[in-house]
Amino acid sequence: MNGLGPASERRAPGLLGRSNLAVRVLTAAVGLPLVAALAYLGEWPFAIAAAIIIFLASFEFVHGWLFPSMPMRAALGLAPSFGAAAMMVGGAHVGPTYIWLGVAIAALLAAAGYSHTNRFGPRRPMRVMAWCLAYCGVLGATLVLVRDLDGGRDWFFLAILSTFAVDTGAYAVGRAIGRHKLAPKISPKKTVEGAIGGFVAGVVAVLALNAALDTGESAMKLLPLALLLPIAGQAGDLFESWMKRRMGVKDASGLLPGHGGFLDRLDSVLFVMPVTWAYLRWVVL
């Protein structure tokens, strides 16, 4: 024995932690500017990029969340639903009709796949495809719809950055003074205090970004949206936590090194964007 073994074992967790942090930082350093640039450009470059991301997220949704033990070959057999979700997102650049078409298809698949039992059988794949189209396709399409609105660039970044503010506020307040569990059976680390902190941070962020981006809309007109977005974002986060706990998985996939999968990054956004689009489309614009 040269004495190096135990010492190296003691250092290993720290080294692994630093290595994982470096991977997280590198992934973010490459991915965030790329996504921001595509969102800034808008049009077909953004629509195509969003469609690719949703295609991969659809695979994560089926193989990572619904059926983590499903053999890869069986998961790939559901690839048409991944492609359909991606086409809905890309097609949203042409018009919102693709969303209603996706809703109709998802409803038909859900009806065709209905069973009074939850056993895997010939109808189960239809229910899986319905879930995939509804969650990834319909909700994902609103990413493109928001960006395509008048002034969509500002509205898109307002929604994204306010979602970051909600997450940051919830984490910071929860770490500092969190005492009361919010939903211990779903996400044991989330607290009521953290949720309140995230809500306040989100409201402030929406109103501040509205002024900073000079959208031309008054704070009073956007106040309902400012109140809704933090709730939607935290609901999306809880939904993802519920799905992962239900299926016994930690991350949707390993497609984003150090960050899990695309769904792990999109959980709040997929709930925030539909609310943003609906409010802007029917109230503001």
In tens, the pLDDT along 56-89 reads: 999 888 877 766 666 767 767 777 778 888 988 9
Top-confidence residue, 240 or 63: 240
CB proximity list for 269: less than 8 A, separation 6 or greater = 143, 159, 160, 163, 233, 236
CB proximity list for 202: less than 8 A, separation 6 or greater = 162, 163, 165, 166, 169, 226, 229, 230, 233
Residue 221 one-letter amino acid: K
What's the mean pLDDT in 223-237?
97
pLDDT for residue 122 is more than 70:
no
- Note the pLDDT of residue 97: 80
Question: Would you say 103 and 139 are in contact if contact means Cβ atoms under 8 Å apart?
Answer: no
Question: Would you say 248 and 205 are in contact if contact means Cβ atoms under 8 Å apart?
Answer: no
- Note the pLDDT of residue 40: 95
Structure tokens, 33 = 């500017």
- Note the pLDDT of residue 11: 43
Helix (H) or strand (E) segment spanning residue 171: helix 152-177
In angstroms, the Cα distances linking 143 to 46, 77, 113 are: 9, 27, 28
Structure tokens, 273 = 């964007």
Rounded to a whole number of angstroms, the distance between the first and last alpha carbons of the chain is 74
C-alpha–C-alpha distance, residues 106 and 145, integer Å: 19
In tens, the pLDDT along 242-264 reads: 988 887 778 777 788 877 889 88
Look up tokens 């190296």; give the residue: 8
Q: For residue 114, name the pLDDT band (cuts at 50, 70, 90).
A: low
- Bridge-partner residues for 271, per DSSP? none
Taking alpha carbons only, the member of 227, 206, 228 closest to residue 217 is: 206
Q: For residue 282, name the pLDDT band (cuts at 50, 70, 90).
A: very high
- Map out the domains of the chain as residue ranges: 11-40, 42-148, 150-285
Q: For 190, list phi and psi in degrees, rounded to 5.
A: -80, 140
- Note the pLDDT of residue 12: 45
Residue 153 one-letter amino acid: R
Chain Cα centroid distance, residue 162: 14
Residue 136 one-letter amino acid: C
Most confident segment among 29-38, 107-116, 231-240: 231-240
Top-confidence residue, 68 or 126: 126
pLDDT for residue 234 is more than 90:
yes
C-alpha–C-alpha distance, residues 229 and 275, integer Å: 7
**48: number of Cβ within 10 Å:** 16
